[in-house]
Amino acid sequence: MAVFDLRESMRNGGGPACLRLRVVLNVAERQAVNAHKPDERRRYQQLTAWVEKHYRDRLHARDLADPQLLREVYQALDELTQILRLGAVYDFQR
């Protein structure tokens, strides 16, 4: 995982819109976010494997009509939320 200092970019309003999101966390919240820090290398390997397994190198318009695509997306999201230890985030997981 790479961490970048984006304060100047955020102050100037530059960069993609996602970089402008500011989330103020208290100490307990910051600790909760970093609770799994020792697992970073393993998590990176899991995420890399997840990308290699689930990212298509191309997507055609006809694929959008294939019900299998939805099943693949659900499977990918389910595995991703498990890797990230988020629990059941999506309705289909409940």
Q: Report the predicted TM-score, pTM, of the whole model to 2 decimal places.
A: 0.60
pLDDT of residue 19: 54
Residue-wise pLDDT tens for the chain (94 aa)? 567 676 776 676 666 555 556 778 888 887 777 666 667 888 889 999 999 999 998 999 999 999 999 999 999 999 999 998 888 999 999 8
pLDDT of residue 29: 85
CA distance 88 to 21: 24
User: Which residues have CB under 8 Å from 16's CB, separation 6+?
Assistant: none
pLDDT of residue 33: 75
